[in-house]
Amino acid sequence: MLALNQSNSPIRSKQPTLTNWLFGVAFALMSVPGFAQAPAAQPLAKQGSCPSGYHSSGNYCTPSSSSARAALPHVGSCPSGYHTSGGYCLASSNSSKAAIVKSGSCPSGYHTSGAYCLRN
């Protein structure tokens, strides 16, 4: 049975829709520190041997699977949360923070970690 208000118009449910709920959950998860910071594995210009979880494809090292961890060109010591693998610094876990090779000062939201800028 449909509920009616005083003017005999249907009362609209105030229950959240599945879409609204999914957007809310996604937003909440991205707001959790570290959750949205996990870096994605990307193809890299080949410098010697490819890191673990990557394979050679022309002049590039490309992720071998969607579970490959992020890698960076090896410049001096690897940043915190990364270790040497081939000619690269490979994220030690899927919870490692995003890092970039440092050029000048680090951008807002990053701090220095050796020759790299590491996301706060």
The residue segments making up the domain with residue 64 are 44-119
Residue 108 lies in a domain: yes
Q: How far is CA 76 from the centre of its chain?
A: 23
Residue 66 lies in a domain: yes
- Can you give the pLDDT at residue 39? 80
Residue 55 lies in a domain: yes
Residue 69 lies in a domain: yes
Residue 15 lies in a domain: no
DSSP state of 109: T
Q: How far is CA 34 from the centre of its chain?
A: 9
Residue 31 lies in a domain: no
| Region of residue 27 (phi > 0: left; psi between -120 and 50: alpha; otherwise: beta) | alpha
Q: How far apart are CA 31 and CA 28, in angstroms?
A: 5
Q: What is the pTM (predicted TM-score) of this model?
A: 0.67
Q: How many domains does the chain have?
A: 1
Amino acid at 1: M
- Can you give the pLDDT at residue 28? 38
58 pLDDT tier (thresholds 50, 70, 90): very high
Residue 109 lies in a domain: yes
- Can you give the pLDDT at residue 7? 65
Residue 94 lies in a domain: yes
109 pLDDT tier (thresholds 50, 70, 90): very high
The answer to whether 106 touches 112, Cβ cutoff 8 Å, is: yes
Q: How far apart are CA 45 and CA 63, in angstroms?
A: 12
12 pLDDT tier (thresholds 50, 70, 90): low
